[in-house]
Structure 1
């Protein structure tokens, strides 16, 4: 009976409240059952909604446009077999899910013999409902991919029903039918869109992880538990005077609170997954900082593989931010070369010949301001220092303290020392040790950072052709890739959370807000105010509605507002 439904759910989820739910009064069973059914009757998509699902048959070119060896035309709907019989007269329908070779004819009058051949040796596949991509009968024609052949095949399909029962599909309509026939939920559809839009290997992996349906099942499970808990609370509201409950109102609210706390903890993990997946989708932002003439532009050109920034021996060449997008080890990145940062009283930024650096002008000052802002907006910061010769002929590492302190607050930070070619290995090793112990060790957030040595000049010299990692650029790139992994990786048992999208994250935040409002309301039992159980039940309803909006299953409303946008992607 329904009164024990929550008990069975909770036994499967020991982290949620584990005691039995409140038994419902026997005389009110039918009333209560109808109430709960009304809460969850819309848990599946409305398949017969006339606004979205029609009884006509649709077709479209499923493969890419343009000249190709093979073009795939997909047909979905109740008239698939009629289309086949018109295009392949007097030929048996291929065995379901097995390919058959057929000659396609242009349909003429029903009783007239077929005349014009559309395509010979076309491949035909038939998939009967309901276990198809759309949940309907599906027919596919794999024809030769020449533009004229494809155009003729599409025209022939349209002629199979002059009355308009067969029409060209609207954008995303195959996916929409799959949704309304229960083959996909919104979370899977968003993941499918990410799969199609993936430009890098990491984007593809994240999209595939979200396509398993695990997320949708999780959100449906949370929603079911919240609706059952709401039903128990509303039963308490309606029948508390009957005195047929095994638990007091306080005990019931305590048990529901345990359930809500468990869901809140899980939501935090899902939001973490969303933050990391957004980095993969939108790209990781990298800022290259350092003093003037440290070689930032040369390093950027080495990493992006082209002359994106102007390189000159004159300090301060870069006054504005130069950005470039690239794929580094499968991660989409936005790389920004910034103006050299220096202060008006910076002793370490004297010129290589020992003279003082020129004064900071208005244009350079604006470039420095933009560089600082870019650093604050970035996910990874690369701080560049350089080996410089002093007037006496010795060498030192030139750096900017403010830049190092700025980078220390970043999520991920790399420190690289350029111009390693100007000094021999042993003195360079000593310089690096002193730099780490006397400079980096004194800055919170950089004590454990191991600085890298690079030489942009050595990387482009003719002698670099036979070297594995000339100039240390490869090692720097590998360190960058590791920092990307630190930003985006999750434990193996949480990999599916990389499929959480920004839309889902926003709805999870709204669900979290309603659940915290519920916690605040029931928390009044510890104070002078009595909790309003009616308001508490309403918070659970609103939280469940947000979960329904994620998967598209549940009450209509804001779910339907996002359907068009998602399906057309």
Structure 2
């Protein structure tokens, strides 16, 4: 490493500078100066010199990264020099008014938060930035660093506080003051605002779930019969032989999990056990003479669970050569039955037909057969591939041997749809950027947003009061609602939004900070 940067934050920065650079004037804030560094408390000579030419930068509070004075020492990066300078900085504590110590993980960012240089959403986004491995993770983390989410949450919080203030004014001064609206009209107006806000919060919560797919990875299950080519497909996707491939049925027993960056998306592929009719003895099925032992049965059970829990399922079918030497599409009853169940619960299903090298004439017929067997799977979600062709084609051959790349492009297209931001159907604001920003909301945000929605639901139920037998809201009875309790629900909703940005109750914020900062490195 050519250069090492040592950062000091706090009120003792100038004491550290004077100790390391005796007799030298303090650099102007935000300018670079070249200085020789010396051991504290010793004469400035060659014997006590730590670094002959270090770059020194001083940043005066409060407009700094931490909100405090900052001193940066850019020293030569040799291990001996770095160690000597770090030791010298620590020894400056004897001459400083305050103790100088090494920073704890995330302490610079913690101080930035405590001094209002960052809000909690920006702190979390910074953590995502530091841990981003893929292009989509990088883009997601940058969304949170702008502070747009925090501004939106604060706007909603202020809206709730204003509404709560109106209700409490109604409670305290209704007998002494004249209001433009009757109590019933005021409550109905606030309830209408709460409904609109509830819709926006629900969409934000749904987008937070989609953002988690980008942050933690999209789960994909490869589902199919034995020897359909699931393991071969996985190996072609990741570019190495990660899964064992064999002609023997039941080679894959447990789930093989592989993480890979695909088109900028982090994906978690699960190669599962082949599905076939589960029998425990040969005489139980004429179609399946092989005995399926308990281990393989357990593998198939886990395969079904993995598919049900996945964000996207790839059903792997294949052509097989019959006794007459003709290639026919194998539609295994067990695989198709499981696939139909999945189609009924999720719409993120893709189908690949492997071993297309065996048949070059009836591809469209095969695709139509798949759509008849699996209603709900559209034509664009069915791909013809040949893992054998892709494996055997030399690098100088066709650009997409075996159709693997076309399938991967279709897969990436599915990723884009899975992670696209949702917008409310009746969004009054034409600016859709805030819904894009909401993809950056974390799981912690989602939990608090749902809690906020719960408070708003309770508020609306409180002020709407009883309903008549016809199901029509009894507006005249709104005035009789317990406005005190209703206002308390608004306070709870506002508090949930405050907790997201770190403006909630002190004890809660300290607990959250402990979780957030423990993942940071010392340099942050």
**Shared fold, TM over 0.5:** yes
1:42-441 alignment runs, 5 A limit: 68-108=1-41, 112-113=43-44, 116-162=48-94, 164-343=98-277, 358-400=290-332, 401-408=336-343, 409-423=345-359, 425=360, 427=361, 430=362, 432-441=363-372
User: 1:52 maps to what in 2?
Assistant: none
In the superposition, relative to structure 1, how do residues 413 and 108 fare at CA in structure 2: closer, same or farther (>3 Å)? same
Shift of 1:444: 3.2
User: 2:456 maps to what in 1?
Assistant: 515
Shift of 1:359: 4.7
Give distance in 1, aligned partners of 2:313 and 2:410.
Answer: 12
In the superposition, relative to structure 1, how do residues 342 and 161 fare at CA in structure 2: closer, same or farther (>3 Å)? same
Does structure 1 residue 452 correspond to structure 2 residue 368?
no
Task: Please state whether the residue corresponding to 1:102 is helix, strand or coil.
Answer: strand
1:474-485 alignment runs, 5 A limit: 474-485=405-416
User: 2:427 maps to what in 1?
Assistant: none
Shift of 1:503: 0.5
Task: Please state whether the residue corresponding to 2:269 is helix, strand or coil.
Answer: strand
In the superposition, relative to structure 1, how do residues 567 and 439 fare at CA in structure 2: closer, same or farther (>3 Å)? closer
Shift of 1:194: 0.6
From 496, 507, 511, the equivalent of 2:437 is 496
Deviations 1:98-130, CA, capped at 9 Å, x for gaps: 222211111116xx5465111122111111111
Shift of 1:449: 4.2
Judge conservation of contact 2:202–2:450 (CA < 8 Å) in 1.
no
User: Structure 2: where are the runs of 5+ without partners?
Assistant: 280-285, 423-431, 467-472, 520-524
Judge conservation of contact 1:173–1:567 (CA < 8 Å) in 2.
yes
Single out whichever of 458-467 and 213-222 deviates more from structure 2. 458-467
Task: Please state whether the residue corresponding to 1:177 is helix, strand or coil.
Answer: helix
User: 2:429 maps to what in 1?
Assistant: none
Shift of 1:253: 0.9
Give distance in 1, aligned partners of 2:395 and 2:117.
Answer: 56
**RMSD between aligned residues:** 2.1
Give distance in 2, aligned partners of 1:243 and 1:88.
Answer: 69
Give distance in 2, aligned partners of 1:104 and 1:469.
Answer: 60
Single out whichever of 396-405 and 274-283 deviates more from structure 2. 396-405
Task: Please state whether the residue corresponding to 1:166 is helix, strand or coil.
Answer: coil
User: Structure 1: where are the runs of 5+ without partners?
Assistant: 1-67, 346-353
Judge conservation of contact 1:418–1:453 (CA < 8 Å) in 2.
yes
Shift of 1:355: 7.8
Judge conservation of contact 1:384–1:399 (CA < 8 Å) in 2.
no
Does structure 1 residue 547 correspond to structure 2 residue 480?
no
User: 1:568 maps to what in 2?
Assistant: 518
Give distance in 2, aligned partners of 1:199 and 1:148.
Answer: 32
Shift of 1:83: 1.5
In the superposition, relative to structure 1, how do residues 463 and 165 fare at CA in structure 2: closer, same or farther (>3 Å)? closer
Shift of 1:558: 1.6
User: 2:522 maps to what in 1?
Assistant: none
Task: Please state whether the residue corresponding to 1:161 is helix, strand or coil.
Answer: helix
User: 2:469 maps to what in 1?
Assistant: none
Shift of 1:335: 0.8
Shift of 1:318: 1.3
User: 1:557 maps to what in 2?
Assistant: 507
Give distance in 2, aligned partners of 1:285 and 1:450.
Answer: 17
Task: Please state whether the residue corresponding to 1:241 is helix, strand or coil.
Answer: coil
Shift of 1:258: 2.3
User: 2:470 maps to what in 1?
Assistant: none
In the superposition, relative to structure 1, how do residues 367 and 503 fare at CA in structure 2: closer, same or farther (>3 Å)? same
